[in-house]
Amino acid sequence: MRKVVFIHGVNSRSNVWKVQENAELYEYYKIDLLRYDTIEEYNELLFDYMNAYGIHKATLVGHSFGGFLAINFAHAYPERVHNLVLVNPAGIFPFLGLFGSYISLFFKYFTYINNFMYTSLSEQYWKEPSIHKLLELEMPISLIYGKKDFIVPYYQGEYIHRIQKNTSLDIFENSNHFLDKDILDCVYKRLSYRKRNTKIKLDFDCKKYRSSFNIYKTRTIIRSFFNNVVMQVQPR
């Protein structure tokens, strides 16, 4: 029986993954991430999680930052991963996107927001893009993008698909960075092998270990940051 581990993104929870009633029969595991300093610690978390549930090998489904973690885990432990399903995966080409050269400044600033991510992880995220690790992977990789995503541009998926033979690519015209119905339907389609019934495993809840994320504070800081950027680039 194929086992699937879902990995959510930043400022999200495992409940973003909605298992369809007519999905194929897999064992679904949805993890709530802890907050760590380094990629190595996240790799260890996923490794221990899979061992705790007796998962020898699994399909990893990662959204945004979860895609970044899935790539790094698959690179560190390829023998534990059947295939990857990556939805708007972040950290592959960290300097692409709407804000161009300002994106590195944005995330350097973002590092100091309480409860987002620690400085060392943020530096790893931007100084060590995962494109090199992704291109070394030999397992099947499904890439899913929203064309209206201004955080992770869809054309990075087109580039990867052209040079990486073991990839499939789906781009949705009306989808953005978040998990809408079209994208979720595609995720389960990419898991499909033959028709069976759905079986859902118990979610792994790390809530008691996890600090809350102050969304209002974050939005205020981001807005202030980009207002400053606009002021700096305006002609005087």
Which residues have CB under 8 Å from 194's CB, separation 6+?
24
- The chain-wide mean pLDDT, for the chain, equals 74
pLDDT of residue 31: 92
Residues 45-77: tens digit of each pLDDT = 999 999 999 999 999 999 998 999 999 999 999
CA angle, 33 then 37 then 40, to 5°: 80
pLDDT of residue 26: 86
The whole-angstrom separation of Cα 53 and Cα 56 is 9
Residues 132-188: tens digit of each pLDDT = 899 999 999 999 999 999 888 898 999 999 999 899 999 999 999 999 999 999 998
pLDDT of residue 4: 94
Domains of the chain as residue ranges with CATH: 2-206 (3.40.50.1820)
Share of the chain above pLDDT 70, in %: 64
Which residues have CB under 8 Å from 169's CB, separation 6+?
143, 145, 157, 158, 160, 161
Residues 138-154: tens digit of each pLDDT = 999 999 999 999 888 89
Q: Is 90 exceeded by the pLDDT of residue 116?
A: no
Residues 221-230: tens digit of each pLDDT = 444 444 444 3
From 133, 131, 138, select the one nearest 75 (Cα to Cα): 133
